[in-house]
Structure 1
């Protein structure tokens, strides 16, 4: 008779018992330790914002199963299809339905979390839930329901001048200029500047090299080169140098070390409060655009879209733009941004009359 294995989660305990029956208790213990290490590695390499998203999605699933009287740990075809219908109908805490894009994200995160809890969710069942979501989305459109914010506002070059001229002559103003101008030129997401250290931004005779080590995909791990621009007023390299010089002169020296955050939060009093996080970057970008009188307030994605569309308008090669911004070279989202420009210049209505 095989010796009993130590207590563990039911699904893990069953697996360990199978290993013990097959290989012996000592090997089973070592395999269990390897599983624990694999779990730890997976947790370590998963971005914190991704884990936060999974946690939020799981709380939505918990609300759904509670209100519908369904088992928490069951990912059947019927449960998932009912879930997407519920998300669109009444899933938000205020009783209104989610936008289809949000429901799609929540479904994906929920499936990941169910599998982490040991629940079997088949590809066919997940695919049927997604097909139901697509079909219900069409029904919403046919019923003239439009949900969601749509595409983020595009930051445009004339807006950069407005932003720069509206920045106060303070440490905060210098940081704001550097945040916007560098972000525009390497097509930043909100989490990109939040993840940068001072040592990740290096001066070069021809500009800056920004080593972006945070992002959603491997394509975001890149060295983005930012050249000096013709107009010093909106030159990201000059803005970066001015910000770092002012930070060194006005803040504790620890904030100028290479391992310090590249972009810091600053209190109204002028005191540095720590490194910026993605949410504070998003809030800053919106606040900066509102202060400058930009007609439609920017979001955390506005600089990213702005870079893609401005570079496309200048005739830059698609691959060059993709590499600079960390997109996959055949990215659907990037092609969508291009359509903002291409749809006007390459248009069947041009010069018809």
Structure 2
């Protein structure tokens, strides 16, 4: 056996997996030689770095939260945290639905599904073997138990966020005060609706990402989670000037520069700025501040059910479908994969009567 250590082959892997990496390097060295093994080790480090780079922060947060749920489960049941057997995963699912939350209540099936998937990722990251068949059985058990909850009349979870609509947009525009903050609110909501924004999208925009075009605006959305959601969304002038996102954006940016200085025209400045109660600009908006702003804006307008950070995204899909827009065009504008299941879910039905597959057939 070739002694890789004698050949000064370095091991840059984390301490927790040094032994496993060393064994792997030795196999590579025996098969391909020390130099090739060194290059393969560097490639492994690059692969780890790429995986870390392309994993969104919110996904990492979900992994961390779900692992804490798994640890609470193993502590409560006395099962070892480093085992991902069929029985352990099904017991995890059952425990989550029964009492998994920290307040002792059961999770909604959708939350339990997220935690199951992320816990499996956590187990595999820690070198615990979890077979696809065992994970599949746990997911099947979750789906079956969710049906039992529905049959018992128990519906858990907040449900889908309320959809933005044209009436709500009009109420919001009319409720915005004639201030920089009011102009910012109008631009935030009207542009966000027209490109189906998530909260992180306007928070991540720089001034240079929103450009004027002869026919409207082009918004370069760079904060997307998939290759579909990173896009250049085109937003045209609205027929109704009151609801025009292009005019709202132009008015807001013109006022920002006029009241707070030419530095805000710099392409590298945030597209949407935070503004305190005294009218001072506080810097760029964060995803949380966008979510809070949309809720506050809709509340001020008297929208019956307050909007959330996801309402604008749902609104484009829902309103677009009602007005007969092509599904592929909606997907491209909003950054969904064509025929995306989540997009189809956002194409909400109001009451099930007008938009009904059986309506008018006989």
TM range (shorter): over 0.9
**1:342/1:318 Cα in 2 relative to 1: closer, same or farther (>3 Å)?**
farther
- Residue 160 (structure 1) aligns with: 169
**1:62/1:25 Cα in 2 relative to 1: closer, same or farther (>3 Å)?**
farther
Q: Secondary structure at the match of 1:340?
A: coil
Match of 1:11 among 14, 17, 20: 20
Between the aligned partners of 2:145 and 2:167, the Cα distance in structure 1 is 40
Measured after TM superposition, the shift of residue 48 of structure 1 is 1.4
1:284-324 residue CA offsets vs partner (Å, 9 max, x unmatched): 11111111110001111111121122222222112111111
Partners of 1:3 and 1:25 within 8 A in 2: no
**1:252/1:111 Cα in 2 relative to 1: closer, same or farther (>3 Å)?**
farther
- Residue 94 (structure 2) aligns with: 85
Partners of 1:153 and 1:296 within 8 A in 2: yes
- Residue 272 (structure 1) aligns with: 281
- Residue 178 (structure 1) aligns with: 187
Match of 2:71 among 62, 65, 73: 62
Between the aligned partners of 2:217 and 2:33, the Cα distance in structure 1 is 58
Measured after TM superposition, the shift of residue 251 of structure 1 is 3.0
Partners of 1:2 and 1:21 within 8 A in 2: yes
Match of 2:260 among 251, 259, 278: 251
Is 1:114 the equivalent of 2:123? yes
Task: Give the RMSD, CA atoms, in angstroms.
Answer: 2.1
Partners of 1:184 and 1:307 within 8 A in 2: yes
- Residue 125 (structure 1) aligns with: 134
Is 1:139 the equivalent of 2:112? no
- Residue 2 (structure 2) aligns with: 2
1:218-249 residue CA offsets vs partner (Å, 9 max, x unmatched): 11111111110122211100110111112212
Q: Gaps (5+ residues) in structure 1?
A: none
- Residue 104 (structure 1) aligns with: 113
Q: Secondary structure at the match of 2:107?
A: coil
Match of 2:45 among 36, 39, 43: 36
Between the aligned partners of 2:79 and 2:32, the Cα distance in structure 1 is 39
State how many pairs are aligned.
353
In terms of mean alpha carbon deviation, does 15-24 or 318-327 score higher? 15-24
Q: Gaps (5+ residues) in structure 2?
A: none
Q: Secondary structure at the match of 2:219?
A: strand
Measured after TM superposition, the shift of residue 349 of structure 1 is 6.7
Match of 2:291 among 263, 271, 282: 282
Measured after TM superposition, the shift of residue 343 of structure 1 is 4.3
Between the aligned partners of 1:70 and 1:264, the Cα distance in structure 2 is 49
Between the aligned partners of 2:353 and 2:324, the Cα distance in structure 1 is 14
